[in-house]
Amino acid sequence: MYSDGSFDQAFSRNAMRAELLDADTELKLAYAWRDQRDEKALHRLITAYMRLAISMASKFRRYGAPMNDLIQEASLGLMKAADKFDPDRGVRFSTYAVWWIKASIQDYVMRNWSMVRTGSTASQKSLFFNLRRVQARLEREAAKSGTPLDRHQMRKAIASEVGVPLHDVEMMEGRLSGSDFSLNATQSSDDEGREWIETLEDDSAVPSEEVEQAKDIETLRIWLVEAMTKLSPRERYIIRERRLNDKARTLESLGDEIGISKERVRQLEVAAFQKMRKMLQTQSKDVHEFFD
């Protein structure tokens, strides 16, 4: 059984031993997959360029993701590239595949960087992967010119460089400044220190509120049943089918069943609802909220 590290090494060694495709062979395999759905041709094409996927995956290890997962995402990107590649465009498959592999890895890194969503737009993705690099370059240039930038000036310069709003830079900076922490971590180093989760307010209903709510629901049910008895059989049927079923019937289907137009069904529904509203308002002034 491989450990993660030994699996990475063995997989990489196998990928490096794969054949190198010349342009003509690559083109034939691409046509065979596109036109004939030849799975052997697809497998040979992907196997030959798995070394490219692994190489690109290794460049994202600094984000803390397991190498196995990065390789898997790179492989998915490679397979998407093979499925969408058009050999008639006259470009090498490796050139086309680079974009799909990179996009797949970047999406994975951003999804798993934090439990808080980091962002999914093209500008946010560019900011996520370029913020530190752009910041370091701007700091070097500022130091070289002897005009250091304060924090606000630096953020404005980054926003201008990457082409995003200043607010996005401030938000991304905060998200990249630290990692997620467990709510089960203790607030102090003492063994008896309470966990952070204990400081969260419990927003579930207390027993007394649950009892009161159940009583209100039962009272409303009784009122509704009583109000329904005051309607005609046709009005009760329309209200039940239109308002009380999990899946409401359409006006047209009810009209076809009863033998009237859908506009007449709508009129009867409105009239029945108004009757029920008046009856229920004699019980409580607050019951009108049910009909809003």
Give the Cβ contact number of residue 154 at 10 Å.
Answer: 18
CA angle 50, 53, 59 (to 5 degrees): 145
pLDDT at 1: 39
**222 is a domain residue:** yes
**10-residue averages of pLDDT along the chain (292 residues):** 51 73 92 92 91 88 81 91 90 90 84 53 68 80 82 84 79 61 53 55 57 72 80 88 83 90 90 82 57 49
**271 is a domain residue:** yes
Same domain as 64, residue 8: yes
pLDDT at 117: 46
How many structural domains compose the chain?
3
**Residue 261 CA neighbour count, 13 Å, CB half:** 3
pLDDT at 31: 94
pLDDT at 185: 57
**182 is a domain residue:** no
Give residue 38's domain range: 4-113
Q: Please give the C-alpha separations between residue 239 and each of 243, 250, 260, in angstroms, as whole numbers.
A: 5, 12, 16
**102 is a domain residue:** yes
- What CATH number is given to the structural domain containing 84? 1.20.120.1810
**243 is a domain residue:** yes
- Joined together, the tokens standing for residue 264 give 């007449």
What 8-state DSSP symbol labels residue 96?
H
What is the reported pTM? 0.44
pLDDT at 118: 47
Residue 204, class by beta-carbon neighbours within 10 Å (0-12 exposed, 13-18 middle, 19+ buried)?
A: exposed
Same domain as 225, residue 168: no
Which residues are paired to 10 by β-bridges? none
- What CATH number is given to the structural domain containing 255? 1.10.10.10
pLDDT at 66: 83
Same domain as 142, residue 60: no
Same domain as 101, residue 42: yes
Please give the Cα distance from 66 to 71 (Å, whole number): 9
- Joined together, the tokens standing for residue 248 give 């409401």
Query: Is 195 in a helix, a strand, or coil?
Result: strand
Identity (one letter) of the amino acid at 95? T
Please give the Cα distance from 47 to 40 (Å, whole number): 10
